[in-house]
């Protein structure tokens, strides 16, 4: 019998984030019973502003509190978990590494341990990681067999997240898989320090976008709807023994510099504004790209959105919500 989301009980941590809101919306459209673990009310979040939260069951709690994790899974008889909850801002992690470690590392082992202690529940768990887990590498693109060598607080937290997930999968036979993406963009991202939403907002205000780097850093940019499709494909495949504890890169496999992404955004917005290049950034990996051959082979997953298509939709969302 093929997997169906209809009436499946699904827990989404980090539901107020950019991916969380789009994922909850897609799961609801597929007929799932969605449980959102929410720490704070965030009325500007897309989950709230587009009233997605009104169709979800809400658990108020903190991933760093083990009892909250137990309650989130147990009370709603959760079948599937998408663990997206994390402190995701690199700059904030540098300023306050303890909070980052509490959220990203403790939050992950609390959730996985809660699932372990509740047999028959949370049989499929997708853990959202990042290309940052690989750390700095002289060899690119990253492939899943490369070591995890995070060196800065946020990067280390993602390396640890991956290793914890791998340990629980292989030691206890839990249905866990790990998703690694690069820079995720799309409507609803209100972290203005990120290059895509920050550039769009600056141009809408008639201001020059500020680049903290010299603009030459290479990154993967993946549209949020492609990320949602990747996470769902991963969850659906977790009944296969060969999937347990596996990590997958999800990427359009394009190499885009910071200057190139700013130019692409300006083009999508019909603007001739040029960026203000500050080149003050420190403690960031210079170049990062991902190889997605494994996802194509084992999951038959491909990006459906080009950069131009994704940016067109993204710009339209911000124009509707910021002007």
Cis amide bond preceding 141, omega within 30: yes
Start-end of H helices in 152-270:
153-172, 195-204, 224-236, 258-268
Distance CA 112, CA 118 (A): 10
Distance CA 78, CA 8 (A): 8
State the catalytic residues: 154
* Strands lying side by side in the sheet with 33-38: 57-60, 33-38, 9-13, 80-83, 124-128, 176-181, 247-250
Which residues have CB under 8 Å from 51's CB, separation 6+? none
Long-range contacts of 240-244 (CB under 8 A, 24+ apart): 242/298, 243/175, 243/177, 243/298, 244/169, 244/170, 244/173, 244/174, 244/175, 244/176, 244/177
DSSP string of 52-115?
GGGGSEEEE--TTSHHHHHHHHHTTT--EEEE--S---HHHHHH-HHHHHIIIIIHHHHHHHHH
């Amino acid at each position: 019998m093929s997997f169906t989301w209809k009436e499946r009980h699904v827990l989404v941590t980090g539901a107020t984030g950019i991916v969380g809101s789009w994922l909850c919306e897609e799961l609801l459209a597929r007929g799932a019973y969605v449980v959102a673990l929410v720490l704070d009310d965030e009325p500007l979040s897309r989950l709230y502003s587009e009233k997605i939260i009104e169709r979800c069951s809400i658990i108020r709690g903190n991933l760093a509190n083990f009892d909250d994790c137990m309650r989130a899974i147990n009370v709603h008889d959760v079948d599937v978990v998408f663990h997206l909850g994390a402190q995701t801002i690199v700059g904030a992690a540098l300023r306050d590494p303890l909070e980052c470690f509490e959220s990203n590392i403790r939050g992950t082992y609390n959730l996985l341990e809660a699932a372990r202690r509740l047999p028959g529940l949370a049989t499929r768990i997708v853990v959202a990681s990042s290309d940052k887990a690989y750390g700095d590498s002289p060899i690119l693109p990253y492939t899943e067999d490369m070591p995890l060598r995070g060196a800065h607080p946020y990067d280390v937290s993602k390396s640890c997240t991956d290793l914890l997930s791998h340990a629980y999968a292989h030691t206890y036979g839990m249905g866990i898989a790990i998703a690694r993406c690069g820079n995720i963009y799309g409507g609803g991202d209100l972290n203005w320090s990120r290059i895509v939403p920050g550039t769009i907002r600056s141009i809408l205000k008639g201001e020059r976008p500020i680049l903290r780097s010299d603009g030459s850093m290479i990154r993967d940019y993946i549209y949020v709807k492609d990320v949602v499709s990747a996470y769902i494909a991963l969850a659906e495949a977790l009944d296969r023994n060969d999937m347990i504890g596996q990590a997958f890169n999800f990427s359009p496999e394009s190499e885009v510099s910071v200057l190139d992404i700013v130019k692409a955004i300006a083009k999508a917005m019909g603007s001739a504004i040029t960026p203000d290049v500050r080149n003050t950034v420190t403690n960031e990996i210079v170049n990062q790209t991902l190889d997605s051959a494994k996802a194509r082979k084992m999951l038959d997953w491909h990006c459906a959105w080009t950069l131009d298509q994704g940016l067109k939709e993204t710009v339209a969302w911000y124009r509707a919500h910021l002007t």
